[in-house]
Structure 1
Amino acid sequence: MYINSHNEEKGGLKDKAHSQLSSLQINQKDKTPKYKQIVKSVIKDIERGYYTKNDQLMSITELSIEYLLSRDTVEKAYRELKILGYIESVHGKGFFVKSVKEQKTKVLFVMNKMSSYKKIIYYSLLEKLGSDAKVDLHIHNYDLEAFDDIIEKNIGNYNYYIVMPHFRNEYQPESIQRILNKIPKNELILLDKKIAGFEDVPTIYQDFEKDIFNVFEQNLDILNRYEKLEFIFPANENYPKEIAQGFRTFCAFNNITSAVSTSANDALRGFENKTLYVVIEDNDLASVIKFSKEKGLKLGSDIGLISFNDTTLKEVLGVTVITTDFEAMGKRAGEVLLNKLKISEKNDFYLINRDSA
């Protein structure tokens, strides 16, 4: 809906008007009066920074024609925006942004679960955004219906929606896409996972299958100290299946003896010396450490241990990890939001070698 700045030359005004329209949010099915929707949409664009002081809005006639609205509806919306102090009218010239309100950018952050490493993402995002943004956090717990409910209740109430779209593998991609499509794409940022059909949405992601393959390939000298690799991949469907596939592909490619178990108890029941265990969940990590102590096995020699996702506790315990850079992910999401970046960017994934492998 943006035309141009107050100080533009008048000659190029009309051509520019139709090339720089922003997406005025008018929902024909919404019971909210159309003039209220115009008011809300203009205020949102001002708060998002699409307008600055003295930017000119479309005329009443242009807006009516462009969005198939009555003149009375547009006049009523502009009248309310004037009363609220957002715009002013200049006789013979049109309507202009009067004041860019000092209001915090509102962000809804929806993630799959709260964990120590997800907290790192959250707090690094908050640090990057600083005091100019207010971030509300919601958890969908891998449940698509819960996610749908969160979006339905909050759509239109925030300037940006940051979503970590991890759901149980039983859900079809079309169901996830349907819910994400409720969010205007210029307000959506995806974290940690790509979603088909949203290639034009800013995304900071992991490539789970390639990441695990590549990081193991780069650290073959560590893995070759062991006679067998065993991946403890939980039976629940909350983790991307591409992780296990990447592990299997790596082992097959390098002709490495390997196995995949669903729990540490199952894996350790048939323990063989010189086995390296790769674990995702912390309870399996604890089981392997406890087992090694009970059997008098030396971590990093008799038995190997690599855990997913670094935390301060794992650092203190001396556990080798393969991990993405969670702090960088949260910081980058903040940069995308602040600078309106249109990127699709893979987050770094690497191994931190400590005493357990």
Structure 2
Amino acid sequence: MLLDKSEMIHVDSRTPKYLQVVNLILEDIEKGELMVGDRIPSINETSFDLLLSRDTVEKAYNELRDRGIITSVRGKGFYVASTNMASKSKVLLLFNKLSSYKKLIYYSIVESLGDQATVDLQIHHYNKRLFEDFLERYIGKYNYYVLAPHFFDQEGHPDAAYELIKRIPKDKLLIIDRAVKGHENEFPGIYQDFSKDIFEALESGISHLKKYERLILVFPKGGMYPEEIIDGFKKFCFFHDFKNLVIDGMDDEEPLENGECYIVLSESDLVSVVKKSREQSLCLGKNIGLISYNDTPLKEILAEGITTVSTDFVHMGKSIAEQILGSEDRIPIKNPFRLTIRKSL
């Protein structure tokens, strides 16, 4: 079984050592070398045989027990409880909302995990109380919890919800979409750096932006958008000497001004700018500029092409799946973000 397999633990592998132990036992089950009722070596025996720490082996055995593959009998040791390889990892996604972009992440995770895990989804709607209810109901019932930590307090201010997040065992928690403010390097996963992302994206298109007299960020109030976007926008305008303005929405009565570039977050404001430009006979990319947050296939063809700033949602889901499967290091990873130039700029 595990004897004489120490050479099969690869120190430099991207797969954590405890998962390598899990995989070794699963391989023995798949080959028929371990059957239901068979005893497997104790934690101390496996630690000695594989030259691993006791904590690493214990973590592997706990993982197998959570999956229903092994069971422990007090005073006797560990035994194979099931040879059903369909005993998959269970993953709970805790998203803040189910937007078109979150759907991209969801489907990317499900597709990347394939038949190696089952995935459930719950939406906390930015609500800490609802998130706490989910924790009370689901802690201990899943192998992994993937959390989008977008929360707001009763006054509408961002809330890290750190004390609640700490209730999830660290080895089972992955953060997605944004880091936990003040604890950016504490939890593995993949995130956007909203301030840095918008700053660097606008810098990459500065040659196009210089033809406009003023940059206007349309940032809706109460829309639950990360306020770090405003910080990054303001820093960019300060460092590169752009006149700028932040408004909370497009006024139906307010006309567009020639020589201005609008950066819009919501789809309704995007539609408003496109409609107004047509009504005022202003040419996108010439008289006014338009940049939309988050890319979609529709924006490639709308108004002959809308310039976007966007993270790669498919990559985000794939990266989370790879961290769950152990094929990617479980560390905090910044997701790619880019400016895609189209005719509207």
Shared fold (TM-score greater than 0.5)? Answer: yes
Higher Rg: 1
In the alignment, structure 1 segments of 5+ residues that lack a partner are 10-21, 23-44, 60-65, 67-80
Deviations 1:151-181 (A, max 9, x none): 22111111110011112252543xx111111
The one of 42, 59, 82 aligned to 1:57: 42
1:346: which partner in 2?
334
Identity in percent: 41
Task: Give secondary structure in 1 for the equivalent of 2:41.
Answer: strand
For residues 246-265 of structure 1, the aligned pairs below 5 Å read 246-265=232-251
1:300: which partner in 2?
285
Deviations 1:12-58 (A, max 9, x none): xxxxxxxxxx8xxxxxxxxxxxxxxxxxxxxxx99976964564235
CA distance in 2, matches of 1:213, 1:94: 57
For residues 28-47 of structure 1, the aligned pairs below 5 Å read none
1:311 and 2:299 correspond: no
2:61: which partner in 1?
none
CA distance in 1, matches of 2:223, 2:41: 52
CA distance in 2, matches of 1:128, 1:232: 35
1:189 and 2:185 correspond: no
Structure 1 stretch displaced more, 177-186 or 191-200: 191-200
Q: Which amino acid aligns with 1:342?
A: R
2:266: which partner in 1?
281
1:238: which partner in 2?
224
Q: Which amino acid aligns with 2:84?
A: K
Task: Give secondary structure in 2 for the equivalent of 1:149.
Answer: helix
TM-score by structure 1 length?
0.74
On the 8 A contact 1:228/1:257 being kept in 2, the answer is: yes
Q: Residues 50 and 152 from structure 1, CA distance in 2 versus in 1: closer, same or farther, beyond 3 angstroms?
A: farther
1:326: which partner in 2?
313
1:291: which partner in 2?
276
CA distance in 1, matches of 2:109, 2:98: 15
The one of 132, 136, 147 aligned to 1:152: 136
On the 8 A contact 1:57/1:96 being kept in 2, the answer is: no
1:178 and 2:137 correspond: no
1:222 and 2:200 correspond: no
Q: Which amino acid aligns with 2:321?
A: G
CA distance in 1, matches of 2:214, 2:158: 34
The one of 89, 93, 98 aligned to 1:114: 98
CA distance in 1, matches of 2:255, 2:190: 39
On the 8 A contact 1:228/1:276 being kept in 2, the answer is: yes
On the 8 A contact 2:213/2:260 being kept in 1, the answer is: yes
User: 4+ residue runs of structure 1 moved beyond 4 angstroms?
Assistant: 45-55
* TM-align CA RMSD: 3.0
CA distance in 2, matches of 1:47, 1:108: 24
Q: Residues 265 and 324 from structure 1, CA distance in 2 versus in 1: closer, same or farther, beyond 3 angstroms?
A: same
Length, aligned pairs only: 293
1:355: which partner in 2?
343
TM-score by structure 2 length?
0.77
In the alignment, structure 2 segments of 5+ residues that lack a partner are 6-17, 29-33, 35-39, 45-53, 55-64
**Greater relative contact order: 1 or 2 (C-alpha under 8 angstroms, separation 6 or more)?**
2
Task: Give secondary structure in 2 for the equivalent of 1:205.
Answer: strand
1:17: which partner in 2?
none
Q: Residues 198 and 291 from structure 1, CA distance in 2 versus in 1: closer, same or farther, beyond 3 angstroms?
A: closer
CA distance in 1, matches of 2:24, 2:254: 61
On the 8 A contact 2:2/2:25 being kept in 1, the answer is: no
Structure 1 stretch displaced more, 145-154 or 316-325: 145-154
